[in-house]
A and B are shown apart, each in its own frame.
Chain A
Amino acid sequence: LAAYAGRIYGEGGMATYNFSKVTTMVVDDSSYMRRISRTILRSLGVAQVIEASDGAEALARLAAQPPDLIVCDLSMNPVDGVEFVRRLRRGSEAPQCLTPIIMMTAHAEPEAVCAARDAGTTEFLAKPVSPRSMADRIVRIIERPRPFIRTDGFFGPDRRRRDSPPGSPRRRAGDTPQAEVIEL
């Protein structure tokens, strides 16, 4: 873990991530939280931070300003984080449906967190948010990408976080053995 942390935060003179061409969308109905997220992202060097005050506004802005990364709050009105992710992933013809999403959650919201995971959230970030915790999630998305899975009831990043490639032995006897890998 120490070696991993050292690698994330630049010990040993490693080259650093270049965020100068990255566009991020922050979706939060709290203007204060949007400001915190924007401040952290801009300080890390993210060039463009688009803001939306709820899921509906974010969906309306996605086509015109497609982001490379979305940072979203779980609890919003009128369109909350779960519904936003669900609608985004469901638009399966648009390239934005594959955009990585970091979902911010406040304290204990286990049922909502499960719903957000099943809607297609990429990573979770528990509040209180800090520059280090935000950077940690971004690095995980960059360095440990997961394939998207489409089944009858799910479309989103692989919910298994093990490093087992498609075609690995199944965990359940009833699992269907066939899978088709599509490179985009």
Chain B
Amino acid sequence: MIAPLDDSSPNRAMVEVIQPPMDLARKTGVGRSIDPMALERAVADLGRMGEEYLDDTARDLALLKGLTAAANAADRPLAELYGRIRAVVHDMRGVGGSFGFVLAGQMADSLHRLLTLRPEDAPLPAVAAHIDSLRAPSPGG
């Protein structure tokens, strides 16, 4: 519970400084270190996830290629296709770097921003160029 200030005090503070209960530190202990074996375990577990990521990314790239083709053919509303492309690259932008594909993550981030900030103005050639460049530094691209 946070104690209220005493409004009647002539020295009424303009700023409250609150020392929060350190539940996390109480549970973990302080002045210790991260278990190096746990860290190695985390790296190994992420490595195993990376192998799955290769398959998933190949599937996502094929999906993006299909969506770009549909946009070029103008057989569906562009806003709908842009929404689907944005959903795919949303995941790719944050994940790629964690598995060593930093450039792919950055390109996905650039495309995501293009489709988020001004989707109505995003020219299809720019979107398609992003997707082409996204394929190059990605596994299976």
Interface residues of A (CB under 8 A from B): 7-11, 14-19, 21-22, 29-33, 35-36, 39-40, 42-45, 68-69, 73, 75, 92-93, 95, 97-98, 100, 104, 106-107, 127-132, 135, 139, 141-143, 145, 147-151, 158, 166, 176, 178-184
- Give B39 Cβ to nearest chain A Cβ, in Å: 6
> Which of chain A's residues have a CB closer than 8 A to the CB of B49?
35-36, 39
Known contacts A8-B33, A10-B36, A17-B29; decide if A30 and B94 are in contact (CB<8 Å). Answer: yes
Contact A18 B24 (CB under 8 A): no
Q: How many residues of B contact A (CB 8 A)?
A: 52
Contact indicator B39/A184 (Cβ below 8 Å): no
Are B35 and A130 within 8 A (Cβ)?
A: no
Picked from A16, A35, A149, the residue with its CB within 8 Å of the CB of B15 is A149
- Do A16 and B33 touch across chains, with their CB atoms under 8 A apart? yes
Q: When the two chains form their complex, are residues B95 and A150 in contact, meaning their CB atoms are under 8 A apart?
A: no
Is B35 a contact partner of A10 (Cβ separation < 8 A)? yes
- In the complex the two chains form, is A180's CB within 8 Å of B5's CB? yes
A17 lies within 8 A of B12 (CB): no
- Distance to closest chain A CB from B104 (angstroms): 10
Interface residues of B in 14-29 (CB under 8 A from A): 14-25, 27-29
Distance, CA A147 to CA B98, complexed state (A): 32
Complex contacts, A33 vs chain B, CB 8 Å:
91, 94-95
- The CA of A39 and the CA of B45, in the complex, are separated in Å by 7
Q: Find chain B residues with CB under 8 A from A39 CB.
A: 42, 45-46, 49
Cβ < 8 Å to A, chain B residues 90-139: 90-91, 93-99, 102, 105-106, 109
**Distance to closest chain A CB from B119 (angstroms):** 13
B35 CB, min distance to chain A CBs, angstroms: 4
Q: Does B41 contact A (CB under 8 A)?
A: yes
Q: Evaluate contact between A178 and B13: CB separation under 8 angstroms.
A: yes
Given contacts A106-B93, A130-B98, contact A178 B29 (CB under 8 A): no
A43 touches B32 (CB 8 A): no
Does A128 contact B39, Cβ atoms closer than 8 Å?
no
Q: How far, in angstroms, from A30 to B30 measured CA to CA in the complex?
A: 32
**Chain B residue nearest in CB terms to A167:** B17
Tell me whether B43 is interfacial, beta carbon within 8 Å. yes
> How far, in Å, is A109 (CB) from chain B's closest CB?
9
Complex interface: chain B residues within 8 A of A30 (CB) = 90-91, 94-95
Contacts A93-B2, A147-B20 given; indicate if A128 touches B96 (C-beta within 8 A): yes
Whether B30 lies near A15 (C-beta < 8 A) is: no
B109 touches A106 (CB 8 A): yes
Chain A residues lying within 8 Å of B109, measured Cβ to Cβ, are 106-107
Q: Known contacts A18-B27, A33-B95; is A45 also within 8 Å of B38 by CB?
A: yes
Q: Which residues of B contact A8 (CB under 8 A)?
A: 33-34
Report yes or no: B16 in contact with A180, Cβ–Cβ below 8 A: yes
Is the pair A166, B17 in contact by a Cβ cutoff of 8 Å? yes
